[in-house]
Chains A and B, each alone.
Chain A
Amino acid sequence: AQSVTQLGSHVSVSEGALVLLRCNYSSSVPPYLFWYVQYPNQGLQLLLKYTSAATLVKGINGFEAEFKKSETSFHLTKPSAHMSDAAEYFCAVSGPGSARQLTFGSGTQLTVLP
């Protein structure tokens, strides 16, 4: 069975500071991994994805994530936080088999302080 653990349900950073959101996964097969962002009262927007090509993946809005197989991690980072980054972030792993269902973590709420 696949699972995702997001450490820290709430993270606060100052505007301009480094953003680091943690994600660890468990998978019996080589995983596909995703980060999605959810703004209040909206659906999920894809930030970036790992599909077994480059281990350092760049996404939208200046975010990037590094796949580390030895640590089973896929942490999300951004060098300098902006007020508009305040949102909930979800890490997800794609299931095996034909359906590729997504298994999500419980989410991390990012607050950006002025």
Chain B
Amino acid sequence: DAGVTQSPTHLIKTRGQQVTLRCSPKSGHDTVSWYQQALGQGPQFIFQYYEEEERQRGNFPDRFSGHQFPNYSSELNVNALLLGDSALYLCASSSPGQPEETQYFGPGTRLLVL
């Protein structure tokens, strides 16, 4: 049973560029959430996708956008990169079949903005 997968594992960009990160959910899951984890901090919720729509959004600017595909995989796009966007980006998948919707995390994509 494949878990949550993310690509790429590492990425280096320069300020002002745009980046796309990808996530495939755990088998049987249809909901994908994205989190940003800055160095030495806990993860911060960016947004969640369900049925190809953004269901909820955290306190992140519009430079952060996403998409969910019919196969439930998802992309996170960040435009006009800032140095402060350097972080580990985590994808988590869940299923609304459980009331608590336990989230299972992928290994993350480490983004460095120079």
Within 8 A of B (CB), among A54-99: 90, 92, 94-95, 97-99
Considering the chains assembled together, what is the distance between the CA atoms of A49 and B107 in angstroms?
Answer: 20
Within the complex, what minimum Cβ distance (angstroms) separates A24 from chain B? 14
* Interface residues of B, count at CB 8 A: 30
Instruction: Verify A43–B108 contact, CB threshold 8 A.
Output: yes
Instruction: Verify B100–A100 contact, CB threshold 8 A.
Output: yes
- B72 sits at the interface (CB 8 A): no
Instruction: Verify A49–B43 contact, CB threshold 8 A.
Output: no
Tell me which residues across on chain B come within 8 A of A42, comparing CB atoms. 107-108
Considering the chains assembled together, what is the distance between the CA atoms of A100 and B50 in angstroms?
Answer: 12
Given contacts A32-B99, A44-B105, A102-B43, 9 further A-B contacts (CB under 8 A): A34-B102, A43-B4, A43-B106, A43-B107, A49-B100, A99-B56, A101-B33, A101-B45, A105-B42
